[in-house]
């Protein structure tokens, strides 16, 4: 499979080049030259297939011969080394729990797959690389965990000072070994821009063999489509499936749309956001207007310029009309999000994190007019990850999974820097 840039100013590349480059030189995003399709019998038999076999079939269509079957099966198995439970919250409404991985958020899936693909190619070619990643919270932890101890790879995590939760900070500043954390005096958008600028700087990029682990990397996106197939496999006999995706940078939603293009019968996708409603506004007005992000209680979705928007556009052939049919968009403020966490917990005993609650809200809104559908929202993080937000809402302590508690006990190590290229260079020089 070849990958092209959405800006179309550079030649197509292999999967290996696409994931090492991260970002094409023309500042676009990589997309597969054709979106592969899966045969009808795959969907007929999917209900009897194991998760790892489903995931392998999907992955192999995107990667082709570049990773041999045996290795790709191993990568998929190691990536999905935890469960993906689908829990009925109320009648016809299901939560797809994506937080059972090592750092308790869905980003484990993409990060683990990317780390293993890069490590496979690095070992094959004997080269060293540096992963540069900006995080609004969960990516950094997932990437740190996914790459921890991986040979020939150094990781630098940039996060906005004071804008992520305590436990998120503990997670991404306490790995040690090949994982370094930088606390940036700025916003997530500043961090993301620093990464983008570093990649556009040819000298830096080549000197340190910079690679991105952000959701812009194709190897993050591909495995995120696995769980949409899994959801279909589990629920396909129940009715028309509607899936609501709490979104920030829109990687997760894009992965779902790719799955749908591959033939996956999901009836409707819903883009649910907090007040950073750039995409829902676009769906209403046809105008894509990025703006500085606003801080919310669903902070992993505080994104003012969602990069995967351009991939979504490709999926819909740049047609606004088609996108607004294919994706319904809804946005919610912190007040209603918090009320929903409390309300659903009280009524059903099911505790959502603020991101999942935004997804739930969008799903419910759509289902008012489509009551016979089967609704699924993505529960993207464990509520304990956002304990400082969730505990005051439910006026109760949230029990922490042991793997999170372990992070909380470690000592933070991070370098505080300004949001400039110069400061980032200094950090790179210490490698």
**Interacting residue ranges for ligand PLP, rule: CB under 6 A:** 105, 107, 138, 215, 246-252, 300-301, 355, 380-381
CB atoms within 10 A of CB 126: 7
CB of 139 to ligand PLP, least distance (A): 6
Biggest distance spanned by C-alpha atoms of the chain: 58
Given a contact cutoff of 8 angstroms between Cβ atoms, the answer to whether 409 and 174 are in contact is: no
* Annotation marks residue 107 as catalytic: yes
Q: Of 171 and 252, which has the nearer Cβ to ligand PLP?
A: 252
Q: 145 or 247: whose CB is closer to ligand PLP?
A: 247
CB of 258 to ligand PLP, least distance (A): 13
How far is residue 401's CA from residue 353's CA, in Å, rounded to a whole number? 14
Q: Looking at beta carbons only, is 138 or 154 nearer to ligand PLP?
A: 138
User: Smallest Cα–Cα separation from 218: which of 90, 117, 336, 294?
Assistant: 117
Burial 330-353 (b: 16+ CB within 10 A, else e): bbbebeebbebbbebbeeeebbbb
With a CB cutoff of 8 Å and minimum separation 6, the contacts of 413 are 173, 174, 176, 181
Pick 242 or 381: Cβ nearer ligand PLP: 381
Residue with smaller CB distance to ligand PLP, 32 or 356: 356
- For residue 216, CA distances in Å to 139, 241, 278 come to 12, 27, 18
Catalytic one of 107, 205, 328, 385: 107
Question: What is the DSSP code string of 312-341?
Answer: HHHHTTT-HHHHHHHEEEEE--HHHHHHHH
CA distance 6 to 24: 9
DSSP 130-177: EEEEE-SSHHHHHHHHHHTT-TTEEEEEEEETT-S-HHHHHHHHS-BT
For the bound state, the minimum distance from the C-beta of residue 265 to ligand PLP, rounded and expressed in Å, comes to 22
Q: d(Cα 113, Cα 110) in Å, to the nearest integer?
A: 5
Angstrom distance (rounded) from CA 335 to CA 350: 19
Measured from the CB atom, is 35 or 164 closer to ligand PLP? Answer: 164
Eight-state DSSP code of residue 372: T
How many Å apart are CA 226 and CA 46, to the nearest integer?
12
Is 426 in a helix, a strand, or coil?
helix
Residues 184 and 419: beta-carbon distance below 8 Å = yes
Shortest CB 214 distance to ligand PLP, Å: 9
- In whole angstroms, the minimum distance from the beta carbon of 42 to ligand PLP comes to 25
Per-residue tokens: 144: 């740190």
Contact 279, 247 (CB under 8 A): yes
CB of residue 224 to ligand PLP, shortest distance in Å: 7
Give the nearest distance from C-beta 355 to ligand PLP in angstroms: 4
Which residue, 122 or 380, is less far from ligand PLP as judged by CB? 380
86 exposure class (CB count in 10 Å sphere: 0-12, 13-18, 19+): middle
Q: Which CB sits closer to ligand PLP, 75 or 221?
A: 221
Distance of CA 216 to the CA centre of its chain: 9
Under DSSP, is residue 381 helix (H, G, I), strand (E, B) or coil?
A: strand
CB of 382 to ligand PLP, least distance (A): 9
Sign of the CA dihedral with 331 first, then 335, 338, and 339 last: negative
Nearer to ligand PLP, 223 or 251 (CB): 251
Cβ at position 357, least distance to ligand PLP in Å: 11
Return the active site residues.
107
């Amino acid at each position: 499979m070849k990958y092209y840039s959405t800006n179309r100013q550079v030649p197509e590349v292999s999967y290996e080049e696409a994931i090492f480059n991260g970002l094409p030189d023309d500042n676009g995003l990589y997309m597969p030259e054709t979106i592969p399709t899966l045969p009808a019998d795959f969907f007929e038999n999917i209900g009897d297939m194991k998760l790892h076999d489903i995931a392998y079939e999907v992955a192999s269509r995107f990667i082709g011969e570049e990773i041999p079957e045996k290795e790709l099966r191993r990568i998929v198995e190691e990536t999905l080394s935890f469960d993906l439970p689908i829990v009925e919250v109320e009648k016809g409404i299901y939560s797809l729990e994506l937080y059972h991985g090592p750092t308790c958020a869905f980003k484990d899936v993409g990060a683990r797959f990317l780390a293993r693909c890069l490590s496979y190619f690095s070992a094959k070619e004997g080269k060293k690389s540096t992963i540069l990643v900006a995080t609004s919270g969960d990516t950094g932890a997932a990437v740190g965990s996914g790459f921890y101890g991986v040979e020939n790879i150094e990781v630098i995590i940039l996060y906005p000072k004071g804008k992520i939760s305590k436990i998120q900070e503990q997670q991404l500043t306490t790995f040690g070994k090949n994982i370094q954390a930088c606390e940036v005096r700025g916003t997530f958008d500043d961090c993301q821009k620093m990464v983008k600028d570093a990649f556009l700087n040819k000298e830096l990029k080549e000197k340190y063999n910079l690679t991105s682990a952000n959701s812009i990397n194709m190897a993050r996106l591909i495995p995120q489509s696995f769980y949409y197939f899994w959801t279909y496999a589990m629920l396909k006999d129940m009715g028309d499936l509607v899936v609501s995706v709490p979104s920030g940078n829109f990687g997760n939603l894009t992965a779902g749309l790719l799955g749908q293009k591959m033939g996956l019968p999901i009836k409707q996708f819903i883009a649910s956001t907090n007040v950073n409603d750039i995409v829902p506004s676009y769906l209403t007005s046809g105008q894509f207007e990025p703006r500085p992000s606003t801080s919310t209680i669903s902070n992993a979705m505080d994104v003012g310029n969602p990069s995967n928007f351009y991939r979504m556009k490709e999926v819909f052939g740049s047609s606004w009309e088609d996108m607004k049919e294919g994706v319904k968009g809804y946005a919610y403020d912190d007040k209603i999000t918090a009320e929903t966490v409390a309300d659903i917990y009280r009524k059903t005993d099911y505790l959502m994190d603020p991101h999942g609650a935004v997804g739930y809200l969008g799903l419910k809104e759509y289902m008012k007019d489509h009551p016979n559908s089967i609704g699924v929202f993505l529960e993207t993080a464990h509520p304990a990850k956002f304990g400082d937000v969730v505990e005051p809402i439910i006026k109760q302590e949230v029990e922490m999974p042991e793997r999170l508690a372990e992070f909380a006990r470690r000592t933070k190590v991070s370098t505080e820097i300004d949001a400039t290229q110069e400061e980032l260079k200094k950090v790179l020089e210490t490698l």
